[in-house]
Amino acid sequence: MVYLLIFNIVLTLYKRKKYLKESVDFAGGNFLKEKVIINGAKKLYGEVKIGGAKNAVLKHMAAALLLKDSCLIHNVPRLTDVETMIDLLASLGAKIEYDLNNNSILIDSANLSNNVANYEHVSKMRASFNVLGALIGRCKEAKVALPGGCAIGERKVNLHIKGLEALGAKIKIENGYVLASANKLTGADVYLDIPSVGATENIMLASVLAEGSTRIQNAAQEPEIADLANFLNSMGADIIGAGTSEIIINGVSHKDLHPCSYSTIPDRIEAGTYMAAIVATRGHGIIKNVFPTQLTAVTSKLTEMGANVNILDPFSLEISCNSTPKAVNIVTQPYPGFPTDLQSPLMSVLTTAKGVSIITESLYENRFMQVAELRRMGADVQQDGTHAIINGVKKLTGAQVKASDLRAGASLLVAALSANGTTSVSSLHHIDRGYEIFEKKLKDLGASIERVIDDSLPVSKPVNTINLEV
Ligand code: EPU
C-alpha cells in the first residue's frame, strides 16, 4: 500500500515535470529573449486546425474546484495560461494530470488543502480570479488576490463582488485581497450593469451549490458562458438560459455533483486571427475545428471588406481574398457584437485596405497598444480616444516590433505576414498565452516564420508583471 502510494506520487511528479517541459518546448518557451522572424508578403494557403478556447477552458478548470471528485476535460489548448491555471489549482490542493498527446486534463479536487489564490498567480493571469466563485461555493470561504488594472484597461471587479454579496457572501478587501465568507449562500436575483463575462462566470460558479435559485439578468452571452454552463451541467449542476441575457441557476447539493468528461469548444478568437492573417496575405485557407456560427460578426465584416467566406459544415469554413480589401468601420461590443479580442488583428488587415476605416473600442480604455508598433511598419493609424482611424496604405514594410499584450501581439503577427521584407516580433510570452504552437500552424499555411533566441533581449522571465494579464 505504502509502495503504491509512493509510486503514485513519483509518477504524478514525473508526469507534471514532463508536461511542463513538453509544453514549454511546444510553446517554444516563454522567455523574453525569444522572438519570431517573419519574411512576409507570402500568401497563406492550406488548412489550420483550431485548438480549444482559452477563455472557456480556464473557467472549466476553475469550475472543477466545485467537485469533490475528478473531471476530465478534452480539447485543452497548449498554452502557458493553462500551465498557470494548473499551478494555481495545484496550490489549492487539486491533483492534475495533463495528457499532452490527447489535449486533455484530469482534475481531481477531492481534497483541497487551501482556499487562497495568491497574488503570484492572479497577477500573472486575470482568469485566476474565477476561482473566487468556485471557492466560495465549495468552501464558503475564500481569499483571492485582486487583479487590479492591466495593459489594456482598468478592468474592475465591482460586479463580481456585487453578485457574490447578493448571494449572501460577506466581502472585505484587505491588503490587496478579496476576503469572502458565507455561512450559506442563498439564490438571488442579480442584475449586471454591464454584461461582464467574468462577473457572470463568478456568480454562476458561486450559485451552483447555493440554496434556491439565482437569476442573472443582463448576463454576458459569450459562447464561453454557455460552455461553462454546459460543463457545470455535465457534472450535475442545474443551469438554464446560459448564452442568453438571463441565466437561471437552480442550486444543487454536493451529492448531486458527479465526475464528468467534457470537451471544450473551439477558440473563436484563434480562428478569427487565422482568418485575418489569410485575408491580410490575400490567401486562401480552410479553418477546421471551429463553430462558424460563433463568428458571424467577424465573417460579416470580412465579407464587407471583400473576402469570400464559405461555411463548409458546422465545424469548418473556407476563407479567401484575392484583391485589396475595402475599408470598413468596426465597433467592438459584447457578444454577439464584434469581439474586442479580434479588433487588433482586423486592424492589421485594414492597414492595407482601400480607404479610411474607423475602429471604435467600446470595452476597454487602452486596447490600441498595437498602433504605435503598426506605425513602425508603415501603417497610417491615428488614435483619438476610443477611436482608431486607419488610412489604408499600399504595403506595410518589415520592422522590429514588440508585443505589449496577447492580442496586440497577434495583430503584429498578422501585419508581419502581410508586410514586405522581414519583421521580428519580440515579447512572445504574451502570444504564447493564447495561441498554441502558432509558428507551426503558420508554417503549415506556408508562412516563413522562425522562433529564435536573441541574446540582445533581456533575460529575465516575465513573472509578476502587471502588464501580463489579459
Ligand atoms: N467591468 C467592470 N466591472 C466588473 C467587470 C468588468 O466595470 O466587475 C468592465 C471591465 O473593466 C471591462 C468590461 O467590463 O472594461 C468587460 O469586462 P468583462 O468582465 O466582460 O471581461 P473579462 O471577463 O475580464 C473576458 C476575456 C477577455 C475578453 C473579455 C470580453 C477571459 C479570461 N478574458 O475578460 O479576453 O476581452 O472577456 O469579451 O475570459 C483575451 O483573451 O485577450 C481577453 C482579454
Give the pLDDT band of residue 149 (cuts 50, 70, 90).
Answer: low
Domain count within the chain: 2
Model confidence at 3, pLDDT cuts 50, 70, 90, reads low
In a domain, 461, yes or no: no
For 304, the grid coordinates are: 464587407
pLDDT in tens, 79-125: 999 999 999 999 999 999 999 889 999 999 999 999 999 999 888 89
| Cβ-based neighbour number of residue 262 at 10 Å | 21
**Is residue 468 domain-resident?**
no
Q: Is 363 in the pocket of ligand 1 (CB under 6 A)?
A: yes
Which residues lie below 8 Å from residue 29, measured CB to CB, with a gap of 6+? none
**Residues 259, 282 within the same domain:** no
Same domain, 136 and 230: yes
Task: Ligand 1, residue 55: give the atom nearest the CA.
Answer: 39
> Which cell goes with 455?
541574446
Whether residue 21 is predicted with pLDDT greater than 80 in this model: the reply is no
The mean pLDDT value of the chain amounts to 92
d(CA 177, CA 204) in angstroms, rounded, equals 21
Q: Are residues 189 and 283 in the same domain?
A: no
Lowest mean pLDDT among 11-20, 58-67, 197-206, 392-401: 11-20
Picking from 370, 440, 372, the residue whose alpha carbon sits closest to that of residue 412 is 370
Least confident of 46-60, 149-163, 185-199, 211-225: 149-163
The confidence score (pLDDT) of residue 1 equals 52
156 lines ligand 1 (CB under 6 A): yes
The answer to whether position 120 is within a domain reads yes
Predicted confidence band at 192 (pLDDT cuts at 50, 70, 90)?
A: very high
pLDDT at 24 over 90: no
List the residue whose alpha carbon is closest to atom 21 of ligand 1: 197
Mean pLDDT, residues 121-143: 94
Name 130's Cβ contacts closer than 8 Å, sequence gap at least 6: 58, 59, 62, 198, 201, 202, 205
Mean pLDDT of 293-303: 98
Distance 6 CA to ligand 1 centre (A): 43
Ligand 1 contact, 297 CB (< 6 A): no
pLDDT of residue 459: 56
25: confidence class by pLDDT, cuts 50, 70, 90: very low
pLDDT of 152: 75
- Reported confidence tier of residue 249, pLDDT bands at 50, 70, 90: very high
Whether residue 173 contacts residue 179, with contact meaning beta carbons closer than 8 Å, is answered with: yes
Tell me: do 335 and 446 sit in the same domain.
yes
* Predicted local distance difference test score (pLDDT) of residue 457: 76
Q: Which of 240, 263, 286 is the last residue of a domain?
A: 263
Q: Is 168 helix (H, G, I), strand (E, B) or coil?
A: coil
Same domain? For 301 and 409 the reply is yes
- Ligand 1 pocket member 155 (CB < 6 A): yes
Give the residue carrying C-alpha cell 497563406: 44
Claim to verify: residue 273 and residue 226 sit in the same structural domain: no
* Domain shared by 42 and 65, yes or no: no
pLDDT tens per residue, range 406-438 = 999 999 999 999 999 999 999 999 999 999 999
Q: Are residues 258 and 321 in the same domain?
A: no
139, 117 Cβ separation under 8 angstroms: no
List the residue whose alpha carbon is closest to atom 2 of ligand 1. Answer: 156
Average pLDDT over residues 202-230: 98
Task: Judge if the beta carbon of residue 198 lies within 6 A of ligand 1.
Answer: yes
What's residue 458's pLDDT? 65
In a domain, 154, yes or no: yes
**Lateral strand order in the sheet of 45-49:** 45-49, 284-288, 316-320, 308-313
What is the SS3 assignment for 287-341? EECCCHHHHHHHHHHHHHCCCEEEEEECCEEEEECCCCCECCEEEECCCCCECHH
Q: Which of 79, 154, 197 has most ligand 1 atoms within 8 Å of CB, for mutation?
A: 197
Please give the residue range of the domain that contains residue 137.
Answer: 54-263
Residue in the block written with cell 487602452: 366
Do 301 and 371 share a structural domain? Answer: yes
Strands 170-174 and 177-181: antiparallel
User: Would residue 23 count as lying in a domain?
Assistant: no
Centre of ligand 1 from the C-alpha of residue 195, in Å:
9
Predicted local confidence at residue 55, as pLDDT:
97
Q: Are residues 254 and 282 in the same domain?
A: no
In a domain, 13, yes or no: no
Model pTM score: 0.92
**Catalytic (active-site) positions:** 150
The residues, any chain, with a CB within 8 Å of residue 446's CB and separated by 6 or more, are 42, 43, 44, 45, 46, 283
Q: How far apart are CA 6 and CA 370, in angstroms?
A: 50
Distance CA 459, CA 31 (A): 7
As a residue count, the chain comes to 470
Q: Do 232 and 283 fall within a single domain?
A: no
Reading the block at residue 405, the C-alpha cell is 499584450
CB–CB of 123/151 below 8 Å? no
Q: Is the CB of 434 under 6 A from ligand 1?
A: yes
Q: Which of 46-55, 122-131, 229-238, 320-329 has the lowest mean pLDDT?
A: 122-131
Mean pLDDT of 31-39: 88
In CATH, what number is assigned to the domain containing residue 157? 3.65.10.10
Q: How far apart, in whole angstroms, are the C-alpha atoms of residue 335 and residue 297?
A: 9
Tell me which residue has its CA closest to atom 32 in ligand 1: 127
Q: Is 164 in the pocket of ligand 1 (CB under 6 A)?
A: no
Taking the CB of residue 332, how many other CB atoms lie within 10 A of it? 21
Q: 444-467 pLDDT, tens per residue?
A: 999 999 999 988 876 544 433 333
DSSP annotation of 155 reads -
Strand-pair partners of 217: 191, 246
> Could you tell me the distance, in angstroms and rounded to a whole number, from the CA of residue 363 to the centre of ligand 1?
8
Q: Is residue 458 part of a domain?
A: no
Model confidence at 215: pLDDT above 60 = yes
Kindly state whether residues 424 and 448 are assigned to the same domain.
Answer: yes
Q: Is residue 155 within 8 Å of 372, Cβ to Cβ?
A: no
Specify if 318 maps to a domain: yes
